[in-house]
Amino acid sequence: MIEGRIEKVAGPLVVASGMEEARMYDVVFVSEQRLIGEIIELKQGKASIQVYEETGGLGPGAPVYCAGEPLSVELGPGLLTSIYDGIQRPLDRVRELAGDWITRGINIPGLDHEKKWDLTPSIEQGAEARGGDELGQVQETELITHRVLVPPGLEGRLVKVAGRGAYTIDEVIAVLEDGAGNRHELRMFHRWPVRNPRPIREKLAPDRPLMTGQRVIDAFFPVGKGGTACVPGPFGSGKTVIQHQLAKWADAEIVVYVGCGERGNEMTDVLQEFPELEDPKSGKPLILRTVLVANTSNMPVAAREASVYTGITIAEYFRDMGYSVALMADSTSRWAEAMREMSGRLEEMPGEEGYPAYLGTRIAEFYERAGKVRCLGRENREGNLSVVGAVSPAGGDLSDPVVQATLRVVKVFWSLQAELAYARHFPAISWLQSYSLYTDNVREYLDEEVGKDWIPMRDRAMALLQEEANLQEIARLVGAESLSPRDQLTLYTARSLREDFLHQNAFHPDDTYTSFAKQKAMMRVIMQTHDEMTRGIDQGAAPRDLFELPFRDEVARMKYLPENRIGDLEELLERISGAISGAVESLETV
């Protein structure tokens, strides 16, 4: 183990000499307290070390030990239901050993090495195997079967395979002999460097939407399974609530939630809610298919930079098993701020607003690890990893370098507006500024599963909302009643779309999640009402008489209908049609 000596300490940055044999990104242990760090710069035998713990009390002359490997995470059974810090230390075990605060120098493995798991082998002795092939299966939780895979990069013949039984993750379950005659002992877990993307066979285009149950997202700005999205917005606009909603309701099989530099009380909400939340598909607790990475704002800033890599490496591991995975990163702005701080201490040339010049590259590398892929292995599995990152620009300024660098690589932009949040319209996603580039990719799936009339109806609704934005300027000058009857109807329908369809209460049991079937029924009520009223106006009915018909409250309450009462909306539509026809007939009688 290489040993150097500290020359300089500047916050989380430590400079050590005598490190000629060290390599970039090697993990090191600083001082006799063995504080965990990572080499981020090498120059003339001196190493600049990013220390993931509080460096108070360190001084020149203290030893530095090099582990000889990059920052890696343990991947195997036991990841699900776990709560980790930014470098995969399990926080529940930390609390047992050290109390409510992380003690400096504490180093706990990410997985439980003593627990036994029931393994069912999937391959026979003597078979040829290579990276990605399934060795066996473990029932990790009630919801998820963990597939134990041959680590990437290995290929050869299995000269030994353990039989069915209970094993710890340290026990050898297979021995692989490669072409050179070298033997590799395979266990139920392996380690993987967090900064290296896990290899895949082929990347595919996302062709299915990630169903989130949030109407403004699913209807107007869908994200594909294996796609990327960002949610920028000012303080108080609801970024974290949207991330929570996606983590709870997105139809991914595995959820990885990374709390990167957010407030501790927000992570506490997640930790308290997830064990109690019911998975909509199985009825079991949602935590059984969730991994949480918590690096809150009061934890060391250097570990924040590593936390997103820890989260996405775990997500890639489950994707390689063939699962659909969703990763929520809240927020990437705090991650970028950690990069800026470390770059400043390294005395690198600053870029825009003090961020490092490589900010855009790091953000692109992170989001490029998402995707729908054909996994390694002979089973020809397909998996997908969707990444949604929240961005917190100061004052909601969308020209912020982090926002702009993110928008260059993601394909869905959900723009949160402070004005909507102040008007108590949630989710505060602007329907005029947001966009999705996955609409064409998922069109065929929506035509088959939701109906060929869904996309044309949605496009008409969006056109009405855009037309409303133009008419509101005129209405402010001359008054809404001075507009033509058709324009008055446009304002009426657009208001109904905003208040009765796009507005959604995350804390109401029946409104927090909306299936595609209910979304389509709700939009159909609004758009057919618009068509009926258009015919009524063309036959001479006054807009005000139609707007005052007594079904407005029922339309406003349809969002609170339980999913098993979607049929009630057909009856509502019949009553609306009858009321409008009655109003027009009475006009003709007069």
- pLDDT tens-digit map of 502-524: 999 998 999 999 999 999 999 99
**What pLDDT is recorded for position 103?**
78
Note the CATH number of domain 111-191: 2.40.50.100
Q: Cα separation of 201 and 132, whole Å?
A: 10
Helices assigned H by DSSP within 157-196: none
Look at residue 261 in the predicted model and tell me its pLDDT: 81
79-88, 263-272, 526-535, 568-577: which range is least confident on average? 263-272
Query: 101-136, pLDDT tens digit by residue?
Result: 777 888 899 999 999 999 999 999 999 999 999 999
Least confident of 51-65, 326-340, 364-378, 575-589: 575-589
pLDDT tens digit sequence for 187-204 = 999 999 999 999 999 999
Q: Which of 158-172, 282-296, 324-338 has the lowest mean pLDDT?
A: 282-296
Q: Are 256 and 314 in contact (CB under 8 A)?
A: yes
Which whole number is the average pLDDT over 204-230?
Answer: 96
pTM: 0.94
* Fold assignment, 454-589: 1.10.1140
- Longest Cα–Cα distance in the chain: 100
Phi, psi of 254 (to 5 degrees): -125, 140
Confidence class of residue 99 from pLDDT cuts 50, 70 and 90? Answer: confident
The 10s digit of each residue's pLDDT in 303-326 is 888 999 999 999 999 999 999 999
> Can you tell me which residue has the tokens 């008419």?
471
Question: How far from 35 is each of 3, 26, 40, CA to CA, in Å?
Answer: 14, 14, 16
Contact 143, 128 (CB under 8 A): no
Contacts of 232 (CB under 8 A, 6+ apart): 239, 390, 391, 392, 393, 396, 398, 400, 403, 406, 413, 415, 416
Compute the distance between CA of residue 153 and CA of residue 130 in angstroms, rounded to an integer. Answer: 8
Q: C-alpha distances in angstroms, 223 versus 232, 286, 388?
A: 15, 22, 9
Question: With bands split at pLDDT 50, 70 and 90, how would you rate the model's confidence at 588?
Answer: low
Looking at CATH, the fold of the domain delimited by 3-71 is given as Elongation Factor Tu (Ef-tu); domain 3 (2.40.30)
**pLDDT for position 590:** 47
H helix intervals, 330-453: 332-345, 359-367, 401-407, 418-422, 439-449
Whether the pLDDT of residue 382 is over 90: the answer is yes
Domain with CATH 3.40.50.300 in the chain: 202-435
Question: Which DSSP helix (H) or strand (E) runs through 47?
Answer: strand 46-51
CATH superfamily of 202-435: P-loop containing nucleotide triphosphate hydrolases (3.40.50.300)
**For position 589, what pLDDT does the model report?**
57
pLDDT of residue 96: 86
- Higher model confidence: residue 91 or residue 203? 203
pLDDT confidence band for 478 (50 / 70 / 90): confident
Average pLDDT over residues 56-77: 94
